[in-house]
Amino acid sequence: MKVLVIGSGGREHALVWKIAQSPRVSGIFCAPGNAGIESLARCVPIAADDIAGLKAFALSEQIDLTVVGPEGALALGIADEFRRAKLRIFGPTRGAAQIEASKSFAKELMVRARIPTAASRTFEVLDQALAYLEHHPLPVVVKADGLAQGKGVVVAATREQAREAVTDMLGKQSFGAAGRRVVIEEFLDGEEVTIMAFTDGKAVVPMVAAQDHKRVGDGDTGPNTGGMGAYAPAPVATPALRSEVVQRVLRPAVEALLQVGSPFYGVLYAGLMIVRGRPYVLEFNARFGDPETQVVLPLLKTDLVDVMEAVVEHRLDQLEVEWHDRAAVCVVLTSAGYPGSYDTGRPIRGLADLSPSTSPSFSDDTLVFHAGTKRDGNEVVTAGGRVLGVTGVGPRWTEASERAYKAVRAISFDGCHFRTDIAARALRSGA
């Protein structure tokens, strides 16, 4: 079968890498792809938000399954368009993708379904939002309502910071259309964890839990980013907690979307805060997380294509999804200045020593996933804020972390930045 993966980041490289392991796949295409993906798939120069172009390509190439990576394409309704054209696609409809595309929609859904989450209010008028902030307990969380690539969240420790965040979003339109509404919610103090699940609109199959590192600096300091690294499985997600998340969060969300006429097919991502042992939803995403995918997929034992087809064909309850009893750690290498402004076009050194032309990894236990890269002549150069995701896999977090950081030290480019404490919480647990 022929598979088309949509997107160009580290998540998409991990998806292509995992799909390529399926003996059922005869060809993989990626639109638009990157310099790492091109060793495993034919990259085609079609933007991820060019729905008409992607549909025409899938029809002309007789693609058997399309897999959507980025949230933007889902919010634009790519799944609806493909299904109308009788093309099989792994990903939710535009209506179901609102659970990520609109934080106010997600909040309303959670309230109706009695899913535990932080108390919040939504505002469209700046003066009303500022007046509400004057009496809100601190710290307070300010979120742009729409898609902001993981950067539209401000945890304000002071009232001045909160006012500045709201004014930037509603007054200065710093996030464009995504910030035309803001959600102001209570701050939850606890430990974050991500639990993603495959779902065909009825059955819900959770993946191993991962913990993302959002802040740019060591010790969780600095501004939020799209993700500086991740590890899995996260120790905080005990079997009891995972069961509670399925029963109180994931299944109620899937059922609530079904009730409003937007059944969810694909991957439902629950970003959670664990407060005194109980899970509260910080956000839902409508697709695989990034960089969580880079640590979760290496632990998946079952053929990913089999799982995706079971979702598309609404028979997920008939498939047993199995996982390796191992650990994975991903360290993200970024351009200097990220998540703010940054330079691109910087040559990346060391990749040739780590990545044989036949594989994105230099060993079975170390994987180099490209995120913001492109080919410039004979060189691979930086082309984004998040440049590479280096994943180490081992029997425990200690070995996984050592393998990841050994590879990180072998790679360099001007302005390269990475956190040195990815998975520190797991390592402190003595694993």
Domain spans of the chain, in order of start = 2-95, 125-180, 191-318, 327-428
Residue 258 has pLDDT above 90, yes or no: yes
Per-residue pLDDT, averaged over 9-25, amounts to 97
Residue 362 has pLDDT above 50, yes or no: no
pLDDT grade, residue 224 (50/70/90)? Answer: confident
What's the pLDDT at 171?
A: 85
pLDDT in tens, 45-67: 999 999 999 999 999 999 999 99
Rounded CA separation 365/360 (Å)? 11
Residue 205 bridge partners (DSSP): 198
Rounded CA separation 108/103 (Å)? 9
Fold match between domain 2-95 and domain 125-180: no
Beta strands per DSSP E along 317-417: 327-334, 361-363, 366-370, 373-376, 379-382, 386-394
pLDDT in tens, 322-348: 999 999 999 999 999 999 999 999 999
Kindly report the three-state secondary structure assignment for every residue of 301-338: CCCHHHHHHHHHCCCHHHCCCCECCCEEEEEEEECCCC
CATH number of 2-95: 3.40.50.20
Per-residue pLDDT, averaged over 193-201, amounts to 98
In the block, residue with structure tokens 């929609």: 105
- The size of the chain, in residues, is 431
Architecture of domain 327-428: Alpha-Beta Complex (3.90)
Chain-centroid distance, C-alpha 391: 15
Kindly report the three-state secondary structure assignment for every residue of 205-233: EECCCEEECCEEECCCEEEECCCCEEEEC
What's the pLDDT at 172?
A: 82
pLDDT in tens, 135-179: 899 999 998 888 876 668 888 899 999 999 999 998 888 788 877
Nearest Cα to Cα of residue 307 among 67, 4, 31: 67
User: 359 vs 300, which has greater pLDDT?
Assistant: 300
Rounded CA separation 97/101 (Å)? 6
Helices (H), 147-299: 159-166, 239-245, 251-259, 293-296
What's the pLDDT at 358?
A: 38
Residue 35 has pLDDT above 70, yes or no: yes
Nearest Cα to Cα of residue 38 among 380, 418, 385, 397: 380
Quote the tokens at residue 232. 């899995």
Residue 234 has pLDDT above 70, yes or no: yes
pLDDT grade, residue 353 (50/70/90)? Answer: confident
Residue 313 has pLDDT above 90, yes or no: yes
Q: What burial class does residue 92 get, using C-beta atoms within 10 Å of its C-beta: 0-12 exposed, 13-18 middle, 19+ buried?
A: buried
Please check whether the domain covering 191-318 is classified as CATH 3.50.50.60. no
Rounded CA separation 346/65 (Å)? 35
Q: Output the DSSP codes for 43-80.
A: E----TT-HHHHHHHHHHHT-SEEEE-SHHHHHTTHHH
Class of domain 125-180 as given by CATH: alpha beta
What's the pLDDT at 431?
A: 56
pLDDT grade, residue 43 (50/70/90)? Answer: very high
